[in-house]
Amino acid sequence: MPDELNAAITWLDEPVRLRDDGPLAGRTLLVKDLIDTAGIRTTYGSRIYADHVPTRTAPAAQALLDAGAVLVGKANLHEFAWGTTSQNEWYGTVRNPTHPGRTAGGSSGGNAAALAAGLCDLGLGTDTGCSVRLPSACCGTVGLKTSWGLVPTDGVYPLCPTLDTVGPMARTVADVALMWSVLAARPVPEPRLDGLTVGLLRQAPAVDALERPPACDSAEAHVARLESLGARVVEADVPDPDGDTWAVFFHEAASSHVATFPARADEYGENVRRKLELAQPSLDPARAADAYGAIERWRRFRPDVDLYVSPVLAGELPAEDCDELSERLTLSEFSRPFNLLGWAALAIGDLQLIAPPDETVLAAGLAWERG
């Protein structure tokens, strides 16, 4: 398939179709190349695994195929899913069809770009700190970060297991909700915003014991429509964790690569190699222990609103050739707290709906889409 966007690492000459019926029958599916597919090259966006062919399909991908989806390829991504721009030294930078010259977001950028360009109907991505939602915001598509632990991550190359999630991506909330129903083995929720209390989140919580990021008022543009759909919108906040959580990410990311880094450091792209160098001191479990405790305590927080509304992006889209290391924290500041909390979060373009249960954000998103 012609792919000037570098949206996929592999397009299949013979799409994989297991059945002609089912809830996803005939819908073309692009699976992020971090997710194993039996008999199909799965590179994890890396040079090290360039010729890797798994013998087993990850359960999440298998569930979609069993529901009738037709696998057409494997989506390009930031190397090992550790990045916010889908710049890839080995397979090329994913290009944004909606905002040419601007980043497509990462790490599931190939999925979002392909969806925006009409190259597939459905996408299966992963989200550890922003990686489903950020590309959806950048490319104007829809993506769900599922609540932690709901969808199995077996057969997915780990980045940070305490935060890793698998999530559906599409052009509509309805399609995302249908995919979620298959992945979670739960019914699609009924659309609902009427009667819900929605917290307007202007400032993201800090996750690193430093100052909070600056406030962003862009979600206020959605208040009038939320209220017209029956929601009550109030000012709200999410408290900061009581300690620095960042060490967990570095500790687990370094552990995920201990077999190949630093032994094969020269086979990593410069961007991820630099991050792994920074992460090496966190391999000491004692350095991560306090951070694990802070996450555990933070996950006990229960909001006094039904859901939150926030932006996904706190600023302008950077150029596709930007310095990812200098942009990554700003690009993910409204996303990564909810991986740490383990909550669900739905991106409808740059609109983010957030709540502990998946059903709440999907019901709200379906009501928003239906109008």
CATH code for the domain of 90: 3.90.1300.10
**Distance from C-alpha of 143 to C-alpha of 124, rounded to nearest angstrom:** 9
Quote helix, strand, coil % in the chain, to nearest 5.
Answer: 30, 20, 50
- Report, as residue numbers or ranges, the catalytic residues: 32, 107, 131
For residues 122 and 208, membership in a common domain is answered with no
For residues 264 and 360, membership in a common domain is answered with no
Instruction: Tell me whether residue 192 is in a domain.
Output: no
Amino acid at 367: A
Burial of 39: CB neighbours in 10 Å, binned 0-12, 13-18, 19+:
exposed
DSSP-based three-state secondary structure for 254: helix
Distance of CA 370 to the CA centre of its chain: 24
Domain range enclosing 94: 8-184
Instruction: Tell me whether residue 124 is in a domain.
Output: yes
Instruction: Tell me whether residue 2 is in a domain.
Output: no
Instruction: Tell me whether residue 335 is in a domain.
Output: yes
Look up the pTM and report it.
0.97
For residues 332 and 309, membership in a common domain is answered with yes
Instruction: Tell me whether residue 3 is in a domain.
Output: no
Q: How high is the pLDDT of residue 28?
A: 98
Instruction: Tell me whether residue 282 is in a domain.
Output: yes
Q: Number of structural domains, the chain? A: 3
For residues 14 and 127, membership in a common domain is answered with yes
For residues 27 and 149, membership in a common domain is answered with yes
For residues 170 and 180, membership in a common domain is answered with yes
What does the pLDDT profile of the chain (371 residues) look like in tens digits? 679 999 999 999 999 999 999 999 999 999 999 999 999 999 999 999 999 999 999 999 999 999 999 999 999 999 999 999 999 999 999 999 999 999 999 999 999 999 999 999 999 999 999 999 999 999 999 999 999 999 999 999 999 999 999 999 999 999 999 999 999 999 999 999 999 999 999 999 999 877 899 999 999 999 999 999 999 999 999 999 999 998 999 999 999 999 999 999 999 999 999 999 999 887 788 878 999 999 999 999 999 999 999 999 988 999 999 999 999 999 999 999 999 999 999 999 999 999 999 999 999 999 999 99
Burial of 330: CB neighbours in 10 Å, binned 0-12, 13-18, 19+:
middle
For residues 52 and 115, membership in a common domain is answered with yes
For residues 165 and 253, membership in a common domain is answered with no
Burial of 11: CB neighbours in 10 Å, binned 0-12, 13-18, 19+:
middle
Q: How high is the pLDDT of residue 286?
A: 80
For residues 313 and 260, membership in a common domain is answered with no
The DSSP output letter for 53 is -
For residues 210 and 352, membership in a common domain is answered with yes
For residues 53 and 113, membership in a common domain is answered with yes
Cis amide leading into 214 (omega within 30)? no
Stated as kind and residue range, the H or E segment containing 223 is: helix 223-228
Q: How high is the pLDDT of residue 296?
A: 97
Instruction: Tell me whether residue 45 is in a domain.
Output: yes
Q: How high is the pLDDT of residue 208?
A: 83
Instruction: Tell me whether residue 1 is in a domain.
Output: no
For residues 341 and 317, membership in a common domain is answered with yes
